Structures are given as structure tokens and as C-alpha cells.
Structure 1
Amino acid sequence: MTPPETPKDGFAAQGTRSPAVSVYVPDNSMNISDTARPEVITKRRDFLAAARARRQGTKGMMVQGRKRREDEPGGDVTRLGFTCSKKVGNAVARNRAKRRLREIARLILPSHGRPGWDYVLIGRADETARRPFEELKRDLIYALKKIHR
């Protein structure tokens, strides 16, 4: 299907595009470690195991972390889980809080996380969504240092 603003011959004049066309231009500054994603925890038993392990609360979130046993699957992969209870708010508020937690985890865990560990980030009511982003990053770094002691 052709968007209505596209010229009939299919070719736009130099420098113009129809609004439905998007062009992906890869950023050459990205490297493999920027695009690699840690494994996501989805099983309830893994969340429960993390809940029984070490935890550290901060103003913006609660972080649970546990070192996996040698006989557990996953090897040296860092695994992540995210959760927000209904105390955080409605679905929109919970999803916003989880998006912020995912982004800080993406930025901080490659340098401060450890392979073979499971981390669960839990959003806090009113704080996770409203706290300044730089402070959330500092909260996660602080919590990880305490958990790894």
C-alpha cells in the first residue's frame, strides 16, 4: 500500500519523503556490548529465589540480587527481572516505572553487574517514576555495591 502523499511514480523529489517512510541509519559508534541484552527472568521460581537472597533498598527502588549456584542453568549470564506492584499505580504508572528501571539497568549493569547473578529491580510507589534519572542511576550503583559485599 502506498501512502497518499507519495508521488504517483513512486519517486519523491530530492530531499523530500512521504511521512510514512522511515529510514534507519546505523550508528557506527555502537559496539556489540551496547546492543547485547542480559537474559530476562520470567519464571516465578527465579523471582522467589531472588526474594530469599540479598536485597538493598534505596529511595527509588528495591534491588534483590543473588549469585546462582554452579549447577543452575544460565552459566555466566547476568539475568534481570523487573516488577512493580499495584501500589505503584495503575497500569500506565507501573509500565512507566518499569521502562525507567529497564533503561537504568541497561546503562549500569554492564559495568557494575556481575556474571552469574540474578537481579530483580522493584519499583517504588511515587518514587521510581518521579525521581530524577541521574539519581536513579546512582541508586542502582549504590545498591549493587551493597549487594556484592
Structure 2
Amino acid sequence: MTDNLLELGSLTKRSEFLHVRNGRYAARGTVVIQMRPCESAGSGVRAGFTATKKIGGAVVRNRAKRRLRALARAFLPALGVAGHDYVFIARMETASAPHERLMHDVQKALEKLRAGGHKPRETRNS
């Protein structure tokens, strides 16, 4: 592993996804990415992927998450912030958008988060 690339881990528990929900976010046409400092000590980056039933059936949701996983593996080691967790949320167009557009949206969202991103939204039931 080179010095400028981060180790990539996975978010698996619901509580980890909920923790990241209250962090910063960046929204693009085909994806929303949330980011928050990791609760556990570590210098790597962890990522989780989600797609709601609103975007389609199981085949569409799985395709959207598969595409996001591939782009996360490509961009997070270089654009991720050490010690942070990320959640990639699929949108309606994630599964069907051209690869170049999805790639551009993920890259720009990660760059925006690296620069600060949007502040967390106020939630009623946090």
C-alpha cells in the first residue's frame, strides 16, 4: 500500500449507517454520499451502500449498489478522508445512467466532501 492511498473497509451494521446519516453530505444527480468521522479508531476509510425500494425492484437496487461499490473502490482510496465513514445512497438514475456520468458524479461528490461538504440536515428523530 502506498502512502497516499487509504485502506477500504465496510459498514455492515444499521447503527453504523445511522451514525453516518448525521454527518456531512454531497448530493449529485445520480448519487448522494454521506460522510462522518469514524467512531472506532482507525486510519482507513469504511463505506456502506444503500438503495431504497423507491428506485426499483431487487435487480435494479442490486445493480445500482454494484455500480457504486465499483466506483467507491476506484475513488475512495485517493479521495477519501482518513478515519471517516461513507454511505453511498443510490438515486433513481444510478442503475441506468451512463458510466461516465455516474463516475463524474461520484468523483465530484467525494471532492466536495473532502473540501467540507454540506452540513448535516436537522432531523426530528435523531
Classify the TM-score, shorter chain: 0.7 to 0.9
| Unaligned residue ranges in structure 1 (runs of 5+) | 1-31
**Secondary structure in 1 matching 2:36:** strand
What is the deviation of 1:37? 6.3
What is the deviation of 1:108? 1.0
Give, as a single letter, the amino acid of the residue that structure 1 aligns with 2:82: P
Provide TM-score, normalisation by structure 1. Answer: 0.70
Corresponding residue of 2:120: none
* Alpha-carbon distance between aligned partners in 2 of 1:94 and 1:74, rounded to the nearest angstrom: 31
Larger strand proportion of the pair: 2
What is the deviation of 1:74? 4.1
Corresponding residue of 1:138: 104
Structure having greater relative contact order (Cα 8 Å, sep ≥ 6): 2
* Alpha-carbon distance between aligned partners in 1 of 2:30 and 2:49, rounded to the nearest angstrom: 14
- In the alignment of these two chains, the number of paired residues is 112
| Unaligned residue ranges in structure 2 (runs of 5+) | 117-126
Corresponding residue of 1:53: 23
Give, as a single letter, the amino acid of the residue that structure 2 aligns with 1:66: R
Any runs of at least 4 consecutive aligned residues in structure 1 with deviations exceeding 4 A, and if so which? none
Checking the alignment, whether the CA contact within 8 Å between 1:108 and 1:137 is kept in structure 2 is no
Provide TM-score, normalisation by structure 2. Answer: 0.82
Checking the alignment, whether the CA contact within 8 Å between 2:7 and 2:45 is kept in structure 1 is no
What is the alpha-carbon root mean square deviation over aligned residues? 1.6
